[in-house]
Structure 1
């Protein structure tokens, strides 16, 4: 992995439409941290109160210094936890945050909500 710091921001405020008391992002961040520990990987994971993508929980952002930022949504615990980690690793390995389509896990191909350029 490159030396550039990579952070996975996880929105923890969205509610589950099927279970208004449930917060998919809160469950996702806990599971993500546990899986990173199991896999002995050091990626920063930080909660965010709102990413304004409430209709597509769980939602994350992949960020890094001098890299494009990606926002991904519609993430489920069972289906996407390891894919998010693999996506973050590929993002970290890239020079500018842009990961080739063929190298993106499925959630990174299908779940992109936005891509924002790095600050100049």
Structure 2
């Protein structure tokens, strides 16, 4: 990934659009994950953050899920249990904070409670040997 104007690598915000959030497979209408993606797309996406829809993050038991990743020197995070209609602003704020870090580590107390309690996975940076 290339560097942005402030010297940090760009960030990708991945959203599982196939999430059913525990609903039956025969429910009609948009899936909760697709609704979350659309809510995020309609929001004010932070500079340096790219929103990307993805199919199935295999995190089905943890509701709507997202991934924050960016550059070889940042930790990657998988978060779950998001409300597809009410959490977009909080997610975009955290994506902005994540982008502003060189390593992806937002201080624990500066993270919203949802992000503290719903971290599914934390993946070390590629450059971390």
Using structure 2 for the length normalisation, give the TM-score.
Answer: 0.81
1:51 to 41, 57, 74: 57
CA contact (8 A) 1:80 1:107 kept: no
Match of 1:111 in 2: 118
Match of 1:82 in 2: 89
How many residues are aligned here?
117
Alignment partner of 1:51: what SS?
Answer: coil
Stretches of 4+ aligned residues off by more than 6 angstroms = none
Once residues 2 and 35 of structure 1 are traced to their aligned partners in structure 2, the CA distance between those partners, rounded to angstroms, is: 24
CA RMSD, Structure 1 to Structure 2 (Å): 1.7
Greater helix share, structure number: 1
Match of 2:105 in 1: 98
Structure 1, unmatched stretches of 5+, are none
Using structure 1 for the length normalisation, give the TM-score.
Answer: 0.87
The alpha carbon displacement at 1:57 in A equals: 1.9
